[in-house]
Amino acid sequence: MREKIIELATKEIGYAEKSGNVTKFGEWFGFNGVPWCAIFCSWCYSMAGMTIKGGGFKNGFAGCQTAMVNFKSMITKTPKPGDLVIFDWQSDKRADHVGIFVAWIDNKAGTFFTIEGNTSIANQSNGGMVMKRQRNMAKVTAFINLIG
C-alpha cells in the first residue's frame, strides 16, 4: 500500500492545474476550484486502494485543519513512506498544507522528501503543481499514519 501511494504520487510530479485551482483531482473528488493539496493526497490513497475514512467527504478529506482534528489519534513521531505531513508555514498553530512523506534525507537534521499537490517554489501551499519537495521539521505540525 505505502509503495503504491508513493508510486502514484511520483507519476503525478509535474502536473499543473488549470487556472483557479481546477484539477483532475478536484474533478474526481467532486470539489473543484479550491485549494487541492488534501484532495491530491486523498486521490493518491484512493487510487492505491485505500479511501481515507473520516475526512468529511466520501473520497477523503479536503482540508488540513480537518485532518488535524479528525486524524489526531493517528499522529506519529516516526513517519513512514506514504504517511501524511501537515505543515504550518506561519507558525501560528494553524495547519496550512499537507503532503505525502516519501523518505528521510537526514533524520538527525530533520530533513526529508515529500510529494505535494498544489505547491511551487513561489507559493508553498497554493502553487498549482505537484512537486517533490525537500522539507525540514521546522514547519511540520504533524505526521499522520492512516495506513497502520
The grid coordinates listed for 8 are 502514484
d(C-alpha 64, C-alpha 144), whole Å: 11
Helices 37-47 and 2-11: crossing angle in degrees, nearest 10, is 120
Which DSSP letter does residue 50 get?
Answer: -
Q: Does residue 63 register a pLDDT over 90? A: yes
Whether residue 102 contacts residue 112, with contact meaning beta carbons closer than 8 Å, is answered with: yes
Q: What is the pLDDT of residue 24?
A: 98
Mean pLDDT (whole number) for 7-24: 97
pLDDT at 62 over 90: yes
Which stretches within the chain are classed as H helix? Answer: 2-11, 24-29, 37-47, 64-70
User: What cell was used for 90?
Assistant: 506561519
8 A C-beta contact, residue 136 and residue 105: no
Q: Which amino acid is at 66?
A: T
Q: What is the pLDDT of residues 65-124, one digit of tens each?
A: 999 999 999 999 999 999 999 999 999 999 999 999 999 999 999 999 999 999 999 999
Enumerate the domain spans of the chain: 2-144
Whole-number pLDDT of residue 148:
85
- Cβ atoms 96, 87 nearer than 8 A: yes
Residue 19 — pLDDT band, cuts 50, 70, 90? confident
pLDDT tens-digit series, residues 25-51: 999 999 999 999 999 999 999 999 999
Please tell me the pTM assigned to this model.
0.97
CA angle 57, 86, 36 (to 5 degrees): 45
Q: Is the pLDDT of residue 7 over 90?
A: yes
Q: Cell 506561519 identifies what position? A: 90
Distances (CA, A) of 32 to 37, 40, 115: 12, 11, 20
Cell of 9: 504520487
